Amino acid sequence: MKPLIYDLDYPVLEKALLALSEPAYRARQVWQGLYQSLWSQADQFTPLSAVLRQKLGETFAFSHLTPGPILDSSDRQTRKTMFTLPDGYAIEAVLMRYGKSGAVKTRRTLCISTQAGCAMGCVFCATGQMGFKRHLTSGEIIEQILFYARQLQPMGEKVTNVVLMGMGEPFHNYEATMQAIDRLGDAQGFNFGARRFTISTVGLVPMIRRFANEHRQVNLAVSLHAVQDELRQSMLPVNKRYPVDELLSACREYVDKTNRRITFEWALINGVNDSVDQARLLGERLRGLLCHVNLIPLNPTQGYAGQGSTQERAKAFTAELARFGIPCTLRLRRGIDIQAGCGQLATGKTR
Ligand code: SF4
């Protein structure tokens, strides 16, 4: 199989072009074509000679992702695409629009995948229910972002934020994830700053520590969902390996080392983890930590009986947390009508 061109760092691309007997400056032209003009086929590189365009097409693959149908939510604010990889596995990425086109605070946030399937087995997650298939390469992670960037381009819009919260555990595919972020950050290319990325982890403690030591500008979110080990373990099997005390101590180390705020995700599940008592326990554990809590009523999945909290319970939970001075946001579920919860479309296909 030909190498995917988005898997190449700039120096590697330069070497590859030298091997094709092309001068080093051609790499800059190709790089800009890929990441600034967003070209996705060799024959679009018209500043290059026809011979070189042909060589590029013969040497590299320009796509590993075959998009399936594009699904828009009824309010047209959420768009989901399933992609098929060359080996047949399915992944997905979701675009969420916040604010009208052209408005000052417009956001175009992408939620992308880092793995096909996932090994973490979180019980309420459609991806967890399908199991692990394989890691994505850095280029396959990048290609999801470029796909949506091309869709937004004709409207004069750009991707503003990327959350690594789709299929997969990004810290289980640490190298490829960081390579993708670094490659997209190049000012001569896509120029997408690290601060605009958010990595969401289920709590792989050694990787949180590694991430803290690297002092990256990338935002960190941790899926917490419970602070009692027994309850958390019943939802997130990873808690057996990295229990709550160990996880929160790694989170505190992260904040101390980086001075960056950490976000905790809490899926509100009716009658499971959404009582006022549980909000109090959470408030006690997070008191004094530079953090923010995102509360989001659970998106229902086929393989899990739990339902999202009622509005009343969600509001009571939020109010209790606020008593501890913990900043929190009660978020809306988005794209339920297009199964935009993590892994739902791809599992529908692979079952
Ligand atoms: S919630 Fe995230 S970490 Fe857990 S199984 Fe789903 S994709 Fe994996």
Distance CA 334, CA 297 (A): 10
Q: Which atom of ligand 1 is nearest to the CA of 129?
A: 5
- Of 122, 163, 247, the one to substitute when testing ligand 1's pocket (max ligand atoms within 8 A of C-beta) is 122
pTM score above 0.85: yes
| Model pLDDT, residue 351 | 27
Q: Which residues pair with 3 in a beta bridge?
A: none
Q: Which atom of ligand 1 is nearest to the CA of 166?
A: 7
Residue with tokens 């979110």: 221
Q: Give me ligand 1 centre to Cα 262, in Å.
A: 19
Q: Give me ligand 1 centre to Cα 128, in Å.
A: 5
| Model pLDDT, residue 232 | 98
Q: How far is CA 349 from CA 89, 276, 310, in A?
A: 10, 38, 30
Question: Which residue's CA is the nearest one to ligand 1's atom 4?
Answer: 122
User: Pairing mode, if any, of strands 78-84 and 90-98?
Assistant: antiparallel
What DSSP element (H or E) covers 54? helix 50-59
Q: Which atom of ligand 1 is nearest to the CA of 115?
A: 7
| Model pLDDT, residue 42 | 97
Instruction: Determine whether 14 is an active site residue.
Output: no
User: CB within 6 Å of ligand 1 — which residues?
Assistant: 118, 120-122, 125, 127-128, 167-169, 202, 342
Instruction: Determine whether 284 is an active site residue.
Output: no
| Model pLDDT, residue 337 | 64
| Model pLDDT, residue 273 | 97
Catalytic residue, candidates 22, 92, 140, 169: 92
* CB neighbour list of residue 15: distance below 8 Å, 6 or more residues apart: none
Written as tens digits, the pLDDT of the chain (351 aa) is 899 999 999 999 999 999 999 998 999 999 999 999 999 999 999 999 999 999 999 999 999 999 997 899 888 889 999 999 999 999 999 999 988 776 767 899 999 999 999 999 999 888 988 899 999 999 999 999 999 999 999 999 999 999 999 999 999 999 999 999 999 999 999 999 999 999 999 999 999 999 999 999 999 999 999 999 999 999 999 999 999 999 999 999 999 999 999 999 999 999 999 999 999 999 999 999 999 999 999 988 888 889 999 999 999 999 999 999 999 999 876 665 656 555 555 554 332
Quick count: other Cβ atoms within 10 Å of Cβ 139?
A: 23
Helix/strand/coil for 47: coil
Q: Give me ligand 1 centre to Cα 122, in Å.
A: 6
Distance CA 68, CA 83 (A): 6
Q: Which residues of 269-290 are buried (b: 16+ CB within 10 A; e: fewer)?
A: beebbbeeebbebbbebbeebb
Separation of first and last alpha carbons in the chain? 27
Q: Which residues pair with 4 in a beta bridge?
A: 61
To 10 degrees, the CA torsion angle through 98, 344, 304, 330?
A: -10
| Model pLDDT, residue 129 | 86
Q: Are residues 127 and 117 in contact, defined by beta-carbon separation less than 8 angstroms? A: yes
- Of 91, 114, 115, 125, the one to substitute when testing ligand 1's pocket (max ligand atoms within 8 A of C-beta) is 125
Q: How far is CA 51 from CA 24, 31, 34, 66, in A?
A: 17, 18, 18, 27
Question: Which residue's CA is the nearest one to ligand 1's atom 3?
Answer: 169
Q: Give me ligand 1 centre to Cα 101, in Å.
A: 32
7 burial (CB, 10 Å; 0-12 / 13-18 / 19+) is buried
Question: Which residue's CA is the nearest one to ligand 1's atom 5?
Answer: 128
